[in-house]
Structure 1
Amino acid sequence: MIPPKPPSRKGKPSVWRFLRDFRKDILSAQSGKLYRAWMAEFRSPFIHSFTCNDPKLIALILKERPEDFPKSGRMAAGLAPLLGNSSFISNGAIWRHQRRIIDPAFEGGRLRQAFPQILAASDAAVARLGPAADGTPFDIEPETAHVAADVIFRTLFTLPIEDETANAVFSAFRTHQDAQPMVNAGGLLALPRWLHFHSRRTKASAERIRGLIAGLVEQRAERIAAGDAPDDLATKIMTTPDPETGALFTPTEMVDEVATFFLAGHETSASALAWALYLLARSPEWQDRLAAEPEVRDFSRLRDIPAARAVFRETLRLYPPVAMTVRTTTRPETLRDRKAPKGAQLVLSPWHLHRHERLWEQPDAFDPARWETENGKTCQREAFTPFSAGPRACPGAGFAMIEGPLILSALVRAYRIEQGTAEPVPVMRLTLRGKDGISLRLTPRIRA
């Protein structure tokens, strides 16, 4: 089964085309040659850029010498109103300090502790979708955003999404997603900092989100001081000192990180879940395989849903939520015999890497069974980066690989999923979304 992807641009690259089309779709502005190229060089008045698809180059940038290729400051400028200087966009000593505090919160034991909260959010999603499961087409993206937000608030602050503040943050994030079309384009085009601007709507939604999060952080700090705080991720992070300096996160730093968890954990999970449900709607045989797997109510039984895990992994391959990222050279480099000056932009594109015609067998096909093949296993090690790789890999990757399959399993056991009114068109915003949503039909699944 071949799901849709945006049409690729033909002809020579043009920065003016990017400037004209970035609000519509950055992906279709990319050259179709990137699905076969190991590297592509691009020059414009603003940029000297290299798109890197060679697994050896990606390993060099992300794993072997990551500090020589920091995250793009231009991309950071686009996200700063919301994320401040969080671990998602910071570099160097500040980033190392942040990760020394954050990483322990996502260790294996903490994932086991978070499992009941993920399960509760999953159960709530099944119940919430009941009234919509009458065969009428509807956009599934707001629903997957809802359950992903529910997971974040339950695991971070032990609050369901129905909580007034949690719901307000969720609503404000939906506004912010629509208000931020230029973040990725600014980074990919390496526009001068003076050309980066934020609309009043963007600034207002970011300020609203940060204000709400600041209230939650303040309340949690009071409960920690009183000795009655729940043992959740927020408490763990706020009470973990940097093992090298002994410093705790300041309130502002904690707001930065909570906003990042919401962006990285909520937006990305919502995107992946929506595309996974769409892929299952197009693949009834895999949908039935998921439905036949046992219900998981205990952390130790997650191994019993291998089909759900394979489908979720294949979704991350075909529709990576973060479709492109940008690194920067800190000194002159030689990349595949080409000279890259200091300050050059290195575009890492999971979208193209995961569909690369010289790496993957049937790269555009939806085939969850590929992960058991030799090609699939090799590519998983060398050419699969939905959570990035190396020291800067997403600390919540393990969390996501529990959350996604568990929610998918629960929804497919409860409902049969069919395609809606139109094929979705993937576009790159803050995360990979359907241009006009993702239309599906749900009906209750009849069980013997």
Structure 2
Amino acid sequence: MNPPKPQPRPDKVSLWRYLRLFRQDLLSAQPQRLYRAWMAEFRTPFFRSYMVNQPDLIETVLKKRPDDFPKSGRISEGLRPLLGDSVFLTNGAVWKRQRRIIDPAFEGGRLKDTFPAMLSAAESCVERLRPHVGTQIECEGITSHVAADVIFRTLFSVPIEHEVAAQVFEKFRAYQREQPLLNLAAFVPVPRWLPRFHSRKTRRNAQEIRKLIAKLTSKRADAIADGTAPDDLATKIMTTPDPMTGQCFETHEMIDQVAIFFLAGHETSASALAWTLYLMALYPDWQNKVAAEAQALDDPTFATMSKLKISRDVFREALRLYPPVPMMVREAGCAEKFRNRDVPKGSQIVISPWHLHRQERLWDNPDGFDPSRWATEIGKTCQREAYIPFSTGPRVCTGAGFAMVEGPLILSMLLRHFKFETISGKTPVPVAHLTVRSKDGIWLRLVER
């Protein structure tokens, strides 16, 4: 079985029609030929964009020569008011220094340390849902709440109900609703010299979020200084020196990093979990398999995660069909030649998990929902070569391993207690905001299991 098909995909589409469709329905906006093409070119009056959808070209850009293809400033500027100079936006030596400090906090052993906080957030989510059994619920709001709870518990050892955490969550929801469709920046014909404008409300929300984060980081810096800080991710990051310089993040630098941890760890996880719940409602047989397997959580320890194999495969398949970040944009630092086509210096290089994960020449049944594919030879090959929900190479998401524990855990915990059912007339339509979200939310019926 396949998820509901989008409107018929056009064979060819003008740039302006593409931009209109992109806002309405991410799936339907994409010309059918892009799901077969190894490469495509978009021309505008000011610059050119090249979508690459061939594994070896993607490997060149993201793995082999990442310094030659830095992150595009066209994308970065849209997030600058909130993220400042966070690791998500920087390039070159600044980015490398930031990763040297941040990466140790997410090494394998830390996952076991953060597991109790994830478990507590999942259990709290179950309790919040109990009063809504028998009703229709909007799942993106629910998954946003639990994902934010996970971030605050693992980063600062406080639950979402904490006064400052709750304020950050609410302000961020307002910020997210005000954001433009950032992935359009790869195609919008705006010259580089034109200044970027942000609405007054967007700037104000970003400033207020950063002030709240500053309170948390300053308080943690004081606790570190007097030896009372908990051993969580914030403490680990703030006390880890750069092995090359011996310097730690300053408090003001930490504000930028906390902002991206919240954005990346909350927004992307919320998107992935919401679409996974929708797919579970659409495929009740798979939902029942996850629920049966979830009885292993009678032993709620980190070791139990190795038993949640079906949940992991289901979550992985949801990330394939609905990658939270549908497109990544890099810039050609020098003139290139891809597939015998000249790529001028300064061109935008668009790498699209959305298309790569549905590439018709690579995947078996690319539009179908089939968690069992990961055990097949084609599935294993594609997982290595054509599956990048967390990007790949040096800029792979630091929290990828974190997400692959958090997602299956929360999914298993929810399905252990509840059933999710589709609602007639409320089929979600994917659109691209900060992440892949549903145009009018993901509405499901919640049933006691």
Task: Name the TM-score, length of structure 1 as normaliser.
Answer: 0.96
In the alignment, structure 1 residue 147 sits paired with structure 2 residue 146: yes
Superposition RMSD in Å:
1.4
CA distance in 2, matches of 1:369, 1:269: 22
**1:195 Cα deviation from its structure 2 partner:** 5.7
Partner residue, 1:239: 239
Give the alignment of 1:67-216 within 5 angstroms: 67-134=67-134, 136-189=135-188, 191-193=190-192, 194=194, 196-216=196-216
CA distance in 2, matches of 1:177, 1:6: 25
> Structure 1 residues 282, 396: CA separation in 2 closer, same or farther (over 3 Å shift)?
same
Partner residue, 1:274: 274
**1:84 Cα deviation from its structure 2 partner:** 0.5
In the alignment, structure 1 residue 434 sits paired with structure 2 residue 441: no
**1:205 Cα deviation from its structure 2 partner:** 1.3
On the 8 A contact 1:242/1:248 being kept in 2, the answer is yes
> What is the DSSP-based 3-state SS (H/G/I as helix, E as strand, rest coil) of the residue aligned with 1:189?
coil
Structure 1, residues 144-197: CA drift from partner, whole Å, max 9, x if none? 000000000000000000101101101111111110024221234363242632
Q: 1:392 aligns with which of 390, 395, 404?
A: 395
Partner residue, 2:325: 322
Q: 1:383 aligns with which of 366, 382, 386?
A: 386
CA distance in 1, matches of 2:403, 2:5: 24
> What is the DSSP-based 3-state SS (H/G/I as helix, E as strand, rest coil) of the residue aligned with 2:74?
helix
Partner residue, 1:332: 335
Give the alignment of 1:26-105 within 5 angstroms: 28-105=28-105
On the 8 A contact 1:188/1:326 being kept in 2, the answer is no
CA distance in 2, matches of 1:396, 1:241: 19
CA distance in 2, matches of 1:30, 1:261: 30
Q: Which amino acid counterpart does residue 424 of structure 1 have in structure 2?
A: P
> Structure 1 residues 8, 209: CA separation in 2 closer, same or farther (over 3 Å shift)?
farther
Partner residue, 2:220: 220
Give the alignment of 1:415-430 within 5 angstroms: 415-421=418-424, 422-430=426-434
> What is the DSSP-based 3-state SS (H/G/I as helix, E as strand, rest coil) of the residue aligned with 2:319?
helix
CA distance in 1, matches of 2:413, 2:239: 34
On the 8 A contact 1:38/1:52 being kept in 2, the answer is yes
**1:309 Cα deviation from its structure 2 partner:** 0.2
On the 8 A contact 1:71/1:89 being kept in 2, the answer is yes
CA distance in 2, matches of 1:66, 1:290: 38
> Structure 1 residues 82, 6: CA separation in 2 closer, same or farther (over 3 Å shift)?
farther
CA distance in 2, matches of 1:299, 1:357: 37
CA distance in 1, matches of 2:212, 2:118: 23
Question: Alignment identity in percent?
Answer: 60
**1:32 Cα deviation from its structure 2 partner:** 1.9
**1:246 Cα deviation from its structure 2 partner:** 1.2
**1:85 Cα deviation from its structure 2 partner:** 1.2
> Structure 1 residues 335, 110: CA separation in 2 closer, same or farther (over 3 Å shift)?
same
Structure 2 segments unaligned to the other structure (5+ residues): none
CA distance in 2, matches of 1:285, 1:218: 49
Structure 1, residues 41-89: CA drift from partner, whole Å, max 9, x if none? 1111122111010001011111110110111011011110111111111
Structure 1 segments unaligned to the other structure (5+ residues): none
**1:132 Cα deviation from its structure 2 partner:** 1.0
> What is the DSSP-based 3-state SS (H/G/I as helix, E as strand, rest coil) of the residue aligned with 1:248?
coil
Structure 1, residues 321-355: CA drift from partner, whole Å, max 9, x if none? 00111000000000011000000111010001101
**1:6 Cα deviation from its structure 2 partner:** 4.2
On the 8 A contact 2:115/2:302 being kept in 1, the answer is yes
Q: Which amino acid counterpart does residue 203 of structure 1 have in structure 2?
A: R
**1:21 Cα deviation from its structure 2 partner:** 5.0
Q: Which amino acid counterpart does residue 410 of structure 1 have in structure 2?
A: M
> What is the DSSP-based 3-state SS (H/G/I as helix, E as strand, rest coil) of the residue aligned with 1:85?
coil
> Structure 1 residues 266, 188: CA separation in 2 closer, same or farther (over 3 Å shift)?
farther
CA distance in 1, matches of 2:5, 2:39: 21
CA distance in 1, matches of 2:241, 2:29: 45
**1:28 Cα deviation from its structure 2 partner:** 3.5
In the alignment, structure 1 residue 353 sits paired with structure 2 residue 356: yes
Q: 2:300 aligns with which of 293, 297, 301?
A: 297
Partner residue, 1:374: 377
> What is the DSSP-based 3-state SS (H/G/I as helix, E as strand, rest coil) of the residue aligned with 2:185?
helix
CA distance in 2, matches of 1:364, 1:232: 40
On the 8 A contact 1:188/1:347 being kept in 2, the answer is no
CA distance in 2, matches of 1:387, 1:128: 29
Structure 1, residues 375-421: CA drift from partner, whole Å, max 9, x if none? 10000000000000000000100000000000000000000110124
> What is the DSSP-based 3-state SS (H/G/I as helix, E as strand, rest coil) of the residue aligned with 1:420?
coil
**1:299 Cα deviation from its structure 2 partner:** 0.8
CA distance in 2, matches of 1:386, 1:5: 21
Q: 1:403 aligns with which of 396, 402, 406?
A: 406
CA distance in 2, matches of 1:266, 1:368: 24
> Structure 1 residues 292, 21: CA separation in 2 closer, same or farther (over 3 Å shift)?
closer
On the 8 A contact 1:186/1:196 being kept in 2, the answer is no
**1:5 Cα deviation from its structure 2 partner:** 5.4
